[in-house]
Chain A
Amino acid sequence: MTAKTADAQAAIDKFIAATDSAAAAYFDACVHCGECAEACHFYLASGDAKFTPTYKLRPMVRAYRRHKAPFSGLKRMFGLAPPEVTGEELETWAELVYDSCNMCGRCTLVCPMGIDIAGTIAKMREGFVAAGLAPDGLVLSEKNALETGSPMRVRLQALKAQIAHQETETGIPITLDKKGADYMVILSSMEIMGYAETIGALARIFKHAGIDWTISSKCFEATNVGVQIGSSETARELVSRVVDAAEELGVKYVISPECGHAYGALRWSGPNLIGRPYAFEVVHIIELLDQLRREGRLRLKGKSNEAITLHDPCQIGRRGGLIGEPRRLIHHVSDGFRELDGAGITNLCCGGGGGVSANPRAHDLQEAAFACKKAQIDKLGSLDAIVIPCANCRTVFEDGMDAYDMELETIGLSELVAGQLDDASSRGEGSRD
């Protein structure tokens, strides 16, 4: 039992408010067939039926059926409506909703009724936040993000240090706060601290292709804890910071980095959160790289022939629609690419997205679920590296591979592309004045 008592009524109110026509149609279309479980890596790894995706939605469904569904008044009168959601139920469900769901969307794919369970979990988390049941790890990340801009408290000093390091490594100057630049890059804290070579890779690619770009010192964080924890207010605040910074600099495009949910949060949810369209366009780094490839602006010194494969991050591939782009880029720069079984739109989640990797309570479960990913990779035989265009996935992979004694290098997509660029023929733009 937790020290704080869950505020069930606040949760119920949020559930009802968050249930729109789509969610209502979902709740009224579910025939309890259980197919969603067959797609969920938490169920597949543990065999425990409580991880069935539709089961995770039960409190919200009950609140809907009792209060908002057509005929709910009639059913309540005859005692046929479900019982009121209780605090105990919410406390039990908090583990299911936060620890065992990455909002990866595989369940949505397999559902014969096309129910977007993953998207509805996001709505459901609003109720849990209102009830005070969000996991401590995420609550802390949220606090950090609101206070410092970064869920990991990565401040401007740290960014500048990493940028300086990359400038030395690549010999390319990186300008901050360049007004009127075409592109503004935002980064995830994980990238800045753990995979800063991505920044260097971007610098090389942009110099090579002649892209005019900058990073804002006011707001350089791409991740949005509000979307993960289930707080629209936080999500709105974090998106507005990016929007304000971009509009202040007057950039044409904001580049969403190799991160999962950041793109969806900014590109699709953002305008709805702040209630107005942006004065700029949002483009994913993979989209931009593919565009450069199409336009012939990525000239290579040759193709890599390392044996590599690709992990499609859920929010980029299945939920973001970018399935062909990373493959075209990889084929452009590599001869040794092999597909994982079930890659593409049906790819298995790494197990760490949707806030799970920021939730220490979920660590053991997440590690157990990674076993599915291990099995998928093992089927390919010997590999040199795995391309992972998401910094969070990369961290999860590295922890998981350590736990399962797997030897495999991880590499970002920008890094892979930058590694094959013919630097001698770069166009040399975007330099410091």
Chain B
Amino acid sequence: MTSFLGFVEGPLWAVAAAVFVAGAAWRIVGLLAIGRKPDISPPRASAALGFIKANLRHFYPRQLFLGRTFVHLLGGYGFHVGLFVLLLFAAPHVAFIKDRILGFGWPSLPRAGFIVAAEFAFAGLILLWVRRISDPVMRRITDRDDHVGSWLTFLVMLTGCMALGQSHEFLRASHMLLVDLWLIYFPFSRLMHAFTFVLSRGFTGATYGRRGMTP
């Protein structure tokens, strides 16, 4: 048992973290390196400001669209907020970050807070995936990457949930194994939207920002 845990928290973790960091960086740099022709039309306003404005504006849909997009809004934010809260503030994670990544930690949530955040995260993820298989639009545009990404994330969270008792090394190790696999899968998949969304919102914001508006 110790060797399995030692493996997934040792060499495999190192490999996974390296692939994650290097892969994500390579992909972002690669995107930017493709380049863009400079716009020589006289601007009406600042493109840089537009970059930031669009990034902020697209966090919430315009009033008119709210009725048709609120399932995604609820599920999406439930999942993402729940996930970030539990990722950054659950005690075992803070301990891991302190020991393995940053060298320092911060105050963590009580166990009940951890559980509630996890419940929101699960509810949101399940709702979104269930929509993906039952909504005609999403059925038309979904591909294998979407399913693999959703399920891998779900399994990471599920093994984490199983390890909540903190009483069996095997459960902690299985969670870590799935985390490592997730980290390795990440840079080659749609999960990269976690980073690329800043660029996509930003490019649109910059293009139209210099025209004086934020779409």
Contacts and interface: CB of A to CB of B under 8 A. Distances in A.
Interface of A: 19-22, 24-26, 28-35, 37-39, 43, 49-50, 52, 54-55, 68-71, 75, 105, 108-116, 119, 267-272, 275-277, 281, 318-321, 323, 341-342, 345-346
B27 A34 contact: no
B76 interface: yes
Interface string B135-173: 111111111001000000000000000000000000000
Contacts of A321: 44, 208, 211-213
Contact of A272 (B39, B59, B65, B199): B39
B34 A116 contact: no
A346 B140 CA distance: 25
Nearest to B191: A31
Nearest to A28: B196
Contacts of B58: 111-114
- Nearest first, the 3 closest Cβ-Cβ pairs linking A and B are A70-B30, A114-B201, A29-B200
A49 B140 contact: yes
Interface residues on B, range: 35 or more
Contacts of B130: none
B72 A346 contact: no
A32 B146 contact: yes
A330 B135 CA distance: 42
B215 interface: yes
B142 A22 contact: no
Interface of B: 23, 26-27, 29-37, 39-42, 44, 54-55, 57-59, 61-65, 68-69, 72, 76, 132, 135-143, 146, 187-188, 190, 192-193, 196-197, 199-205, 207-208, 211-213, 215
Given A32-B138, A346-B64, A267 B34 contact: no
Which of A20, A32, A272, A342 has most chain B Cβ within 10 Å? A32
Contact of B41 (A21, A267, A342): A267
A114 B58 CA distance: 6
B55 to A, nearest CB: 7
A108 B32 CA distance: 21
B47 to A, nearest CB: 12
Given A39-B68, A105-B215, A345-B62, 12 more contacts: A20-B35, A20-B37, A21-B35, A22-B204, A26-B203, A29-B193, A32-B146, A49-B141, A70-B31, A114-B58, A268-B41, A345-B215
A39 B200 CA distance: 19
B40 A28 contact: no
Contact of A346 (B37, B42, B62, B201): B62
Contacts of B208: 319, 321
A25 B200 contact: yes
Given A277-B42, A346-B65, A113 B141 contact: no
Nearest to A33: B72
12 contacts: A21-B32, A32-B132, A32-B142, A33-B72, A37-B137, A39-B68, A113-B201, A114-B57, A114-B200, A114-B205, A275-B40, A345-B215
A151 B167 CA distance: 76
Contacts of A43: 137
A21 B35 CA distance: 5
Contacts of A52: 137, 140-141
A112 B82 CA distance: 18
A295 B54 CA distance: 32
Given A20-B37, A25-B196, A271-B40, A342 B64 contact: yes
A114 B139 contact: no
Which of B137, B199, B202, B207 has most chain A Cβ within 10 Å? B137
B31 A25 contact: yes
B34 A109 contact: no
Contacts of B62: 109-110, 345-346
Contact of A115 (B35, B200, B213): B200
Contacts of A69: 30
A134 B32 CA distance: 31
Given A25-B200, A26-B203, A52-B141, A20 B27 contact: no
B203 A71 contact: no
Contacts of B35: 20-21
Contact of A29 (B138, B140, B197): B197
A366 B17 CA distance: 51
Contacts of A37: 137
A28 B215 contact: no
Given A28-B27, A346-B64, A22 B140 contact: no
B204 A114 contact: yes
B200 A26 contact: yes
Contact of B138 (A33, A105, A320, A323): A33
Contacts of B138: 32-34
A318 B132 CA distance: 30
